[in-house]
Amino acid sequence: MFEKIVYLDNAAATRLDERVLEAMRPYFFDLYAVATSQFGYSLGVDARDALDSARGRVAVALGAKPEEFVFTSGDTEASNMALKGVALALGEKKGRHIVTSPLEDFPVLYSARALEKQGFRVTYLKVDETGRVDLDQLRDALTPETILLSVQAANQEIGTLQDVKAIGEIAREKGVLFHTDATHAFTRVPLDVREVGVDLVTVSAHTIHGPKGVGGLYVREGTPIRKWMDGGFQEFDLRPGVENIPGAVGFAEAVELVTPDETARLQGMRDRLIERLLKVPHTRLNGHPLYRLPHNANISFRFVEGESLLLHLDMRGFAVSTGSACFSRSLEASHVILGIGGDHERAHGSVRFTFGRFNQDEDVEAVAGALEEVVTELRKISPLGKD
């Protein structure tokens, strides 16, 4: 049996909503056929209809047409598809220059690095101390050889929102394709492709109480992109593989279950937590105070290290995340905190809290109280901050 905990790491993964499971169930046991062409057997045709319907439901949340949405195995695959797919399509024709931000999540960052190894030139934009991209530098960075601009809609760690509308305008002005990783922003922050000049958008179900292993890429009609996986011709010949119909349906359901009221509730919890924690001495907020994800709080605590904070909180029944090097899989401190000019100590002492549907109001005071105790304890045994 699993113990009951206060789960505050919704940016990493979320608890599935029961209604999502119910929506998916028929596609495991009753309508389990592959999505055949319209000339196939009825079960397959019905499966195709279900897939198309799910596609439409997710697309509408982006302001997109159904045929502009490709289902993938998640945001990692979607971002890889965007960067490598465009590189494959335009690398020989237009140029070999890519522009992105240093704060991107790994799928974008490491895809860019992989392309660098293949001879592409990558420009990493300047960001200010809150993580917002410098728009003037962005404009100057785009050249006739630039094949893609990739800037996230929201940051996965510090929650800072980028001005995608302004960025989209600049990209259009310069004739450069614009990809945005909206994994953490989708449904929580407005993003309509009819209003924003964006060509590719990464989304995922796992951040909004949908199933893991399901995501997608919005591809504006006419965007030059080549498939990088080979196999069948599914997903408009962009992404082969047996379609994950239960997953697609689950994703659609999850998307529709997010409401502005819920987001406002999460934002209230976020604000109360930030206010409460900044009262603890020697703390600072990471990311922009206003332009930030409604459910994300990220605070650095001086003189103590994140992994011990995390373990102490775990023992008290709270799940959070940290930018400490010890916690990362590569033993490197958070590239996001370092990227906004923070030092290693600030990264090691950073804690990320991300709220979700199943958090209660009292979770805020509960975690704040526990954190205060833990920080006090750890500061007592720390060699730092005493003189």
Partner 1 sequence: MPLPYSELVMEHFRHPHNVGRMEDADAKAMEGSPACGDMVAVYLKVDPETQRISDVSFESYGCASNIATGSIITDLAKGKTLEEAKHISWQEASDALGGLPPIKAHCSVLAVDGLRAAIQSYEERHGLVKERVPTTVEEVRRRLKHVMNPVTGLDLVRTKLVQDIEVADGKVRIVVDLPADHQFAANMREEITDKIEPLWDVKEVVVEFTE
Contact positions vs partner 1 (CB under 8 A)? 3, 113, 303-308, 311, 314-315, 324-326, 329-333, 343-345, 347-348, 380-384, 386
| Residue among 42 and 330 whose Cβ is closer to partner 1 | 330
Residue 156 three-state SS = coil
- Shortest spacing between CB 157 and partner 1, in angstroms: 16
| Residue among 104 and 199 whose Cβ is closer to partner 1 | 104
Neighbours of 192 (CB within 10 A): 12
Q: Which two tokens stand for residue 234?
A: 């599914």
CA dihedral angle for residue 255, residue 261, residue 262, residue 265, rounded to 10 degrees: 160
| Residue among 159 and 342 whose Cβ is closer to partner 1 | 342
- Shortest spacing between CB 351 and partner 1, in angstroms: 14
| Residue among 36 and 328 whose Cβ is closer to partner 1 | 328
R_g over Cα of the chain: 22
Between helices 260-277 and 362-380, what is the axis angle to 10°? 30
| Residue among 174 and 348 whose Cβ is closer to partner 1 | 348
- Shortest spacing between CB 107 and partner 1, in angstroms: 15
Choose, from 278, 326, 343, 384, the residue flagged as catalytic: 326
Proportion of the chain in helix, strand, coil states, percent, rounded to 5: 40, 15, 45
Give yes or no for a contact between 90 and 63, defined as CB atoms under 8 angstroms apart: no
| Residue among 13 and 242 whose Cβ is closer to partner 1 | 13
Side-chain half-sphere of 323: how many Cα atoms within 13 Å?
30
Rounded Cα distance between 223 and 219, Å, is 7
Rounded Cα distance between 326 and 286, Å, is 19
To the query of whether residue 326 is one of the catalytic residues in this protein, the response is yes
- Shortest spacing between CB 116 and partner 1, in angstroms: 11
Phi, psi of 191 (to 5 degrees): -150, 105
| Residue among 68 and 104 whose Cβ is closer to partner 1 | 104
What single-letter amino acid sits at 335?
H
- Shortest spacing between CB 106 and partner 1, in angstroms: 12
Rounded Cα distance between 57 and 73, Å, is 18
Per DSSP, helices labelled H in 67-142 are 75-90, 106-117, 135-141
- Shortest spacing between CB 328 and partner 1, in angstroms: 9
- Shortest spacing between CB 339 and partner 1, in angstroms: 14
Q: Which two tokens stand for residue 177?
A: 């394709």
Tokens 């960052």 appear where? 109
Active site residues: 326
